[in-house]
Amino acid sequence: MIEKFKTSNFKNLEIEKEIELKKVNILIGANGSGKSNLIDSIIFFKDLIEKGLQESIAKRKYKELLNKNVPNINSFDLSISLNTEAQYSALKYKLTVFIEELKTFILEESITYDKPLDPSKRQPFRFIHCHGKFPGKCSFPIKEKGKTISKHIKVSSFDTVFRQYYDLTKHMVYTQKFFPTFSKVIDDIKEYVKKWRYFPMSDINLDELKKPLKITGNTNVLYPNMSNIGDFLIKSRYTNKAFLQRLKDYFKTDIDFEIQPSGEYINIFPILNGKKFYMSSLSDGQIRILILLSILYLDQNSKVVFIDEPELNLHPSWMRKLREDIYNSKKQIIISTHSSDLLDTFTEDFRNELVNIIVFENGKVELLKKSKALEKEIENGYELGDLYRMGDPVIGGWGF
């Protein structure tokens, strides 16, 4: 689980305090306020590990990544705390990057525990700290003669330590005394981040899903454009009856799928109340809920799921059902939404501290906190979506 996140000067974001995340997190705010940028800043960490620094920066067009509201800015930083559900306590990764199109490099990078494991210690254990006062070098702690000392080793500042940590084995002391533990930490983070998924719903072409789909054979990772949803549907018919039951709850009729392979392609026919239909016979809203339930139930390898505007094409009456499925999915969910109807469904969850509502305006980011004024409005019969729709300042304090 992503437990905390902070970034500054990433696009229009300026987060003053670490954002603490829960299992379910709802991002709200006006268009252009930074919701999608927050998702991208977290996805940047995934890209950093899988693609490296230079490709991750180039993908975001170099200085286009920097906050244009801050004059003469040439760097950004981020901090992320992860609980990977493995043997380690929450780990914190911190990074500062200098950006020029022909000269982009890391100014500082570190991996530590998020908190001291020993209450008597002031600082959490540091696995590695790179650059900073010692550009081109990483320091790591080892014990010698009963004392903890720091050793230094050369590394490149043009990529993250995640991409070059095996190169550190060239240092004998590092290999003998530090590498076995550190390599397990790095591999653990890499494996966890592989299980993150991002689905911008407005980018999914529904017309393409109404056509025969190419067989991919991939039922490990659901693609962002949903082009391998057919492979997942084939598997679900035998392994995930709960998925079909939830679809039935939305469609108000028995539903199944007939799958007809045709060469390299799969033809998908929904069976509604015993009658066979083409996918094109389904409404856009029905296809959207099929997509969402596939994300929440069928991609069982995913751990963290980002969904941008899940409410597209959905009737307001489906929002409470969707809220149930979000909680039933057993994943950490981060949703960006403009839907007051969806926000309404999380009112009691917010009061019971089961969900985070994260409010955005022009790059400012704050957790919505319970207050006497907000509680009074709820007691008067308003739900969160009602207050959001009216622009009531108690929902965020900025009155967008």
pLDDT in tens, 181-212: 778 888 889 999 999 999 999 999 999 999 99
- Whether residue 118 has pLDDT greater than 80: no
Give the number of other CB atoms < 10 A from CB of residue 308: 20
Looking at residues 243-263, what average pLDDT do you find?
A: 90
Amino acid (one-letter) located at 37:
N
| Residue-level pLDDT at 247 | 92
H or E stretch covering 368: none
Sheet with 24-29: strands ordered across: 196-200, 304-308, 332-336, 24-29, 355-361, 364-367
Q: What percent of the chain has pLDDT over 70?
A: 94
- Whether residue 400 has pLDDT greater than 70: no
- Whether residue 130 has pLDDT greater than 70: yes
- Whether residue 171 has pLDDT greater than 70: no
Q: Are 141 and 126 in contact (CB under 8 A)?
A: yes
| Residue-level pLDDT at 390 | 87
| Residue-level pLDDT at 140 | 82
Looking at residues 128-135, what average pLDDT do you find?
A: 92
The model's confidence at residue 16, banded by pLDDT at 50, 70 and 90, is confident
- Whether residue 397 has pLDDT greater than 80: no
Domain range annotation of the chain? 2-193, 201-301
- Whether residue 168 has pLDDT greater than 80: no
E-state strands within 201-300 = 213-214, 255-262, 265-272, 275-276
| DSSP three-state, residue 87 | coil
E-state strands within the chain = 2-10, 13-14, 19-20, 24-29, 75-82, 91-98, 105-113, 126-131, 134-144, 147-154, 196-200, 213-214, 255-262, 265-272, 275-276, 304-308, 332-336, 355-361, 364-367
- Whether residue 172 has pLDDT greater than 70: no
- Whether residue 179 has pLDDT greater than 90: no
Distance CA 357, CA 25 (A): 6
| Residue-level pLDDT at 176 | 63
pTM score: 0.92
- Whether residue 9 has pLDDT greater than 50: yes
